[in-house]
Amino acid sequence: MLKVGAAVAGGAMLSSTRLSARNEKRAPNAKPNIIILLFDAMSARHLSTYGYARGTTPNLERFAARANVYHSHSSAGSFTSSGTASMLTGLFPWNHRALSQSAPVKRELADANIFSMLGPEYYRLGYTQNPWAQLFLGQFRAHLEEILPLSSFSFRQVASTGARFVNDPTTAYYAYDDLLVSGHQAQGQKPASLATFLYDKLIHHKLESFESAQYPIGFPDNNFYQYQLDETFSGIQKTISTLSQQSKPFFAYFHIWAPHEPFAPLREFFHQFDAQDPQVPARPQHPLAMSTFSEKDLRRERNRYDSYIASVDYEFGSLLSALEAGGRLDNAHLILTSDHGHLFERGVLGHVTPLLCDPVIHIPLMISSPGQTARKDIYTPTSNADILPTVLHLAGQPALSAGLDGVALPLLGGEADSARPIISLDAKKNSAFLPLKRVSISMRKGDWKLIRYAGYPAASESYELYNIVQDSFEQQNQFQKAASIASAMQAEMLDMLAQADKPFQKATP
Partner 1 sequence: MLNKILDRLPKLQQITPVYAVIAFMSFAWMILVFVWKLPSWLYFQKINEILPILAYLFMQIFLDSLLYLGILLVVCMILPARLLRDDFIPRGAWAAFGAIGTYIAYVNLLFIWGDSVTQWTLAAMLIGIALAISSAYVKWLAKVAVEASDRLVIFVYILIPVSLVSILTVIIRNIN
Residues in CB range of 349: below 8 A, 6 or more apart: 291, 293, 297, 298, 301, 343
Burial of 309 (C-beta count, 10 Å sphere; 0-12/13-18/19+) = buried
Quick one: which of 167, 418, 476, 505 contacts partner 1 (CB under 8 A)? 167
Binding to partner 1 by residue 178, rule CB under 8 A? yes
Min CB(256)–partner 1 separation in Å: 25
C-alpha triplet 432, 74, 42: angle, nearest 5°: 95
Residue pair 224/157 in contact (Cβ under 8 Å)? The answer is yes
Binding to partner 1 by residue 144, rule CB under 8 A? no
Query: How many other CB atoms sit within 10 Å of the CB of residue 287?
Result: 13
Binding to partner 1 by residue 201, rule CB under 8 A? yes
Quick one: which of 24, 168, 274, 295 contacts partner 1 (CB under 8 A)? 168
Q: List alpha helices for 456-501, DSSP H.
A: 483-501
* SS3 state at 203: helix
Site string for partner 1, 90-119 (x = CB under 8 A): -------x-----xxxxx------------
Min CB(89)–partner 1 separation in Å: 13
Q: Closer to partner 1 at the Cβ: 179 or 400? A: 179
Binding to partner 1 by residue 369, rule CB under 8 A? no
**15-23, 142-150, 189-197, 255-263 -> range binding partner 1 (CB under 8 A):** 189-197
| Nearest-angstrom CA–CA distance, 261 and 208 | 13
If residue 68 lies in a helix (H) or strand (E), which one and from where to where? strand 68-70
Binding to partner 1 by residue 196, rule CB under 8 A? yes
Q: How many residues line the site for partner 1 (CB under 8 A)? A: 35
Binding to partner 1 by residue 148, rule CB under 8 A? no
Binding to partner 1 by residue 137, rule CB under 8 A? no
Binding to partner 1 by residue 2, rule CB under 8 A? no
Angle between helix 80-89 and 131-139 (nearest 10): 30
Binding to partner 1 by residue 436, rule CB under 8 A? no
Binding to partner 1 by residue 79, rule CB under 8 A? no
Residue pair 115/125 in contact (Cβ under 8 Å)? The answer is no
Site string for partner 1, 404-433 (x = CB under 8 A): ----------------------------xx
* SS3 state at 368: strand
Binding to partner 1 by residue 185, rule CB under 8 A? yes
Query: Is the preceding peptide bond at 131 cis, omega within 30 degrees of 0?
Result: no
The residue length of the chain stands at 509
How many alpha carbons lie under 13 Å from residue 278 in its C-beta half-sphere? 25
Binding to partner 1 by residue 162, rule CB under 8 A? yes
Quick one: which of 101, 116, 157, 193 contacts partner 1 (CB under 8 A)? 193
Interface with partner 1 (CB under 8 A): 97, 103-107, 139, 162, 165, 167-168, 171-172, 174-176, 178-180, 185, 188-198, 201-202, 432-433
